DNA sequence: GTGTCTGCAAAATATTTGCAAATTT
DNA sequence: AAATTTGCAAATATTTTGCAGACAC
């Protein structure tokens, strides 16, 4: 039986980083945070392990509208709202609505694994910017 | 009054390409398709104009779980289901459910612009692969 | 004619991968 | 000791940008 996943300091630190990072960090952000504990950890290691954690189901990759991938450590069912201006993502509690019961069902030829709700919006800082565009805006 | 958007062959061809491309093409796929009509069009031009069309609301950028950005020409409200294995995206008619009425509301500090439904799943070809992994699989 | 738009090439950003050395079991 | 994992660096992949000439109005 091949491929037992080993416990390494790097992997522990990556998962631990989610406690410090609010929201849904990118690989770069996780790398920066983990460096506080393991200064020599490489970005490649972070990417490799994030991918493994996603495969294992310990993390999720979030659906984003452009920009780098973002990761989510929150196991409870929830949706996301993303700012169309700056990309920031925030959790939204997801009611276990009817569609939530669809796991295993067929939809357009696909077998459903998960249902998620998504919103597009403007976060508070960007809302202000849109109203009073500054020289740095858009 | 600055910045009138001009009508160019490149822009027309990019929008026209969506008629030939099923699903939700990436910039590369659009570029390849448009080249049939305009062999010298550059990928940069495609990216630049896709961005403009999104700003104008003529196209949408789709939320994806990794991989290149995908674009959507379908104006009617609908959600997407994406294959976790190959990234393929398919439209799913979206019922004008309660959350659809939220435009303008506040959610977690964000102002909602749009509500979308998302599913993660396995497309038919990938479902087969998962059952009978081939030497090329995963 | 004026200002926008394009193609090209280079830059910037994001992610993956090969490999020798280090680490885990 | 055997096999996986890491750091590093290079390779890929994706997207953006500067600029001179072409094009739309």
Quick: pLDDT tens for A31-50. 999 999 999 999 999 999 99
Which residues are CB-contacts of A37 (< 8 A; sequence separation ≥ 6)? A13, A16
Task: Confirm if A108 and B82 have CB atoms less than 8 A apart.
Answer: no
Percent helix, strand, coil in chain A, to 5, is 35, 25, 40
Is residue A83 over pLDDT 60?
yes
Q: Which of A54, A72, A75, A56 is nearest to A64 (CA)?
A: A72
From A68's Cα to the closest Cα of chain B, the distance in A is: 8
Q: What's the average model confidence in pLDDT over A73-79? A: 78
Q: Which of A126, A118, A83 is nearest to B100 (CA)?
A: A118
Q: How many Å apart are CA A80 and CA A76, to the nearest integer?
A: 12
The A residues from 33 to 92 touching B (CB cutoff 8 Å) are 61-66, 69, 81-84, 90-92
Residues of A in contact with B81 (CB under 8 A): 107-108, 110, 112
- pLDDT on residue B86: 77
Is residue A135 over pLDDT 60?
no
């Amino acid at each position: 039986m091949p491929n037992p996943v080993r416990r390494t300091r790097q992997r522990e630190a990556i998962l631990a980083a989610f406690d410090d990072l609010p929201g849904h960090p990118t690989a770069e952000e996780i790398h920066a945070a983990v460096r506080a504990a393991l200064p020599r950890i490489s970005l490649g290691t972070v990417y490799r392990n994030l991918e493994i954690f996603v495969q294992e189901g310990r993390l999720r990759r979030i659906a984003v509208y452009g920009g780098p991938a973002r990761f989510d450590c929150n196991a409870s069912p929830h949706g996301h709202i993303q700012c169309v201006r700056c990309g920031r993502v925030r959790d939204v509690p997801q009611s276990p609505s009817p569609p939530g019961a669809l796991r295993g069902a067929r939809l357009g030829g696909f077998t459903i694994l998960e249902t998620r709700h998504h919103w597009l919006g403007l976060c508070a800082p960007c809302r202000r910017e849109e109203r009073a565009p500054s020289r740095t805006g858009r």
